[in-house]
Amino acid sequence: MAAIRSGSTPQAVSRRRFLHAALVSGPLAPAALLAPRGVRHAWAQEAPKKGGTLRVGFYIEAATMDPHLSGSKIDRQVYHNIYEPLVVLDANLGVKPGLAESWQQPDAKTLVFKLRRGVKFHDGTDFNAEAVKFNFNRMKTEPKSVRKGEVASIDTVDVVDPYTVRLNLKRPDAALLATLTDRAGMMVSPKTAQERGAELERNAKGAGTGPFVFVEWVKDDHLLIRRNDAYWNKQGGPYLEQVRYRPIPDDTVKLQSLQAGEIQVMDYVQPRDVAAVKADKNVVVVDVPSLADFAYQLNHTKPPFDIKALRQAVAYSLDLEQIVKGVWLNVGVPANGPIPPTSWAYDRSIPFIKRDLAKARAKLAEGGKPGGFTFTMTTNNIPINVQEAEVMQAQLAEAGITMKIKLVDAGTLISDGNARNFEMISFQWSGRPDPDGNTYQFFHTTPGTSLNWSGISNPQMDALLDKSREISSQAERKKLFSQLTRLLQDELPMVFIVHPIEPKAFSPRVQNYDPIPDGMMRFKDVWLK
């Protein structure tokens, strides 16, 4: 029987723990420590004050208020304040009790949740095992559900008693628990979902259990949530009276809005602005280490990258340190593989591939192209991607490799990737809390795993990935992911570039923000000075 997690309430991340997380994450440490103001800020010791409206600027408006139908990252920023998942993430990507106060795994194909008592949805109905069953069934059967893939390993859901629910799995799935920390674990009121139907997409009144209740969404203008005074967790907040989200698409204008006090929070600061913003006394920057993995997929199914030596030649020609310093302005760290330094599975002992032009030339000769070769790289037409492409182009040229750059919009990029219509293509993955989410779907041979754009099919890799889903011991899984990272550095379905940091900026009035590496802003314990 696997370990049972005891059911304490989710705790805030202390400064010490945050610093520890930053320090143990190795290469991340210098960048994380660049933001002492941000960290101190998260550690404010004054007594929290109730009230006030927090105004938040996002780059785009939310798409839907129904977590089971949501395919957009920005929706989650709102959801994490009005809905709650069964389990929640902590700053080290550990899984902690959420709406479920504990869980057991009697065998690899069974997961039993003990649910928290006394929790009510905002519409006044009880949260219980029937509600959990309803939610999983809805995710699995609702025609427009975007969650089907995430809950695919769940076969049936049994209500054991009003506060115990058992998930019977089709196959062992060690990553499931971490998946349930986000939209796939978020519980919607069955009553509201049934009564409101499709209208739930626009109006989430009464639907959640979270620290804030949905008030209104004036499309193209703002989305408003208000404090839930009946919130079940009496420790800490919610303190804020309201949170008002607004879309401000232009990064420069969003930053100016923050500096002028029109908004108090912005979701992301571009690397180019980070230094300037950190020098501004009216803005507090918090570096949030992310789960992301920015890389380039190499097409194994056609020349030139069907030849392993040529893939390696490219990897040895690139200087990741220079790219991270020059393009990302150190708002990130060079990547040794797909797993970010924030993850428990990250192996610090594996260095990223260092530039070695002699080796690159040797690999070119081995691949039958001693004089170099020419290929095309497809990337998104946004400034930082273009800069990165140009730096790579110059670095590769020194090894005799000519890289042509093809700039496309996001829609075309995805279509080219899915159709394998590329030689090398940019891939920026936002990341998942469990390392499985950054690996399996990219490197496993399974028809239908459409993110394996490179077309890699390697029996050893498949076996490692399968095994990592079957065993539940974190230490054992970590060993498997280390082996996988080494294998990836040799086979190179992708060249890994950077694990970016996602800096967020706040007005100095905003207190007690706890950064979690999934980048979601949970405002439960936040208050305004």
Partner 1 sequence: MGRLLLRRLVATIPVLLLVTAGVFALIHLTPGDPIDAMMAESVDDTVKRELRRDLGLDRPLYLQYATWMGRLLQGDLGRSIRNREPVIENVGRRIKPSLQLAGLAMGIALLVATPIGILSAARRNSAVDRVGTSFALFGICMPNFLIALILIFVFGVKLRWLPISGYVDPLEEPLDGLRSLTLPAITLGLALAAVITRTLRSSMLEALSEDYIRTARAKGLSDGAVVRRHALKNALIPVVTVIGLQLGTLIGGAVITEYVFALPGVGRLVVDAVFARDYPLVQGVVLLIAVGFILSNLVVDLLYGWIDPRIRHR
Q: Which residue has the tokens 């949970």?
A: 522
Q: Roughly what angle, to the nearest 10 degrees, separates helices 308-317 and 474-491? A: 100
- Which one of 34-42, 172-180, 360-368, 443-451 is the stretch in contact with partner 1 (CB under 8 A)? 443-451
**Listed residue (265, 285, 268, 318) closest to 430, CA to CA:** 268
User: Using CB under 8 A, which of 415, 460, 473, 474 touches partner 1?
Assistant: 415
Element (H, E) at 96: strand 95-97
Determine how many CB atoms are found less than 10 A away from the CB of residue 188: 26
* Residue 218 Cβ vs partner 1, minimum distance, rounded to whole Å: 9
Which lies closer to partner 1 via its Cβ, residue 206 or residue 431?
431
Residue 238: is the preceding peptide bond cis (ω within 30°)?
Answer: yes
User: Using CB under 8 A, which of 19, 309, 451, 487 touches partner 1?
Assistant: 451
Token pair recorded at residue 392: 């790579």
Which lies closer to partner 1 via its Cβ, residue 221 or residue 241?
221
User: Using CB under 8 A, which of 19, 29, 63, 159 touches partner 1?
Assistant: 63
**Listed residue (369, 386, 341, 377) closest to 485, CA to CA:** 341
Q: Which residue has the tokens 């995430």?
A: 150
Residue 181 found at the interface with partner 1 (CB under 8 A): no
Question: Site residues for partner 1, window 110-149 (CB under 8 A)?
Answer: 143-146, 148-149
φ, ψ of residue 386 in degrees (nearest 5): -65, -45
* Distant-in-sequence, close-in-space partners of 204: CB < 8 Å, separation ≥ 6: 65, 66, 82, 214
Contact at 8 Å (CB) between 57 and 178?
Answer: no
* Residue 71 Cβ vs partner 1, minimum distance, rounded to whole Å: 5
Determine how many CB atoms are found less than 10 A away from the CB of residue 169: 18
**Listed residue (516, 503, 523) closest to 241, CA to CA:** 523
Which lies closer to partner 1 via its Cβ, residue 80 or residue 363?
80
Residue 260 found at the interface with partner 1 (CB under 8 A): yes
Residue 253 found at the interface with partner 1 (CB under 8 A): yes
Question: Site residues for partner 1, window 209-228 (CB under 8 A)?
Answer: 219-221
Task: Tell me, residue by residue from 375 to 414, as one string, x for binding to partner 1 by CB under 8 A and - for no binding.
Answer: ---------------------------------xxxxxxx
Which lies closer to partner 1 via its Cβ, residue 144 or residue 509?
144
Residue 447: is the preceding peptide bond cis (ω within 30°)?
Answer: no
Which lies closer to partner 1 via its Cβ, residue 140 or residue 486?
140
Contact at 8 Å (CB) between 162 and 131?
Answer: no
Contact at 8 Å (CB) between 435 and 178?
Answer: no
Question: Site residues for partner 1, window 296-325 (CB under 8 A)?
Answer: none
Count the residues in the chain: 529
Residue 201 found at the interface with partner 1 (CB under 8 A): yes
User: Using CB under 8 A, which of 24, 108, 152, 391 touches partner 1?
Assistant: 152
Residue 350 found at the interface with partner 1 (CB under 8 A): no
Which lies closer to partner 1 via its Cβ, residue 58 or residue 127?
58
Which lies closer to partner 1 via its Cβ, residue 177 or residue 413?
413
* Residue 248 Cβ vs partner 1, minimum distance, rounded to whole Å: 4
Q: What is the binding site for partner 1 (CB under 8 A)?
A: 60, 63-64, 71-73, 143-146, 148-149, 152, 198, 201-202, 219-221, 246-250, 252-254, 256-257, 259-260, 262, 408-416, 418, 429-430, 441, 448-451
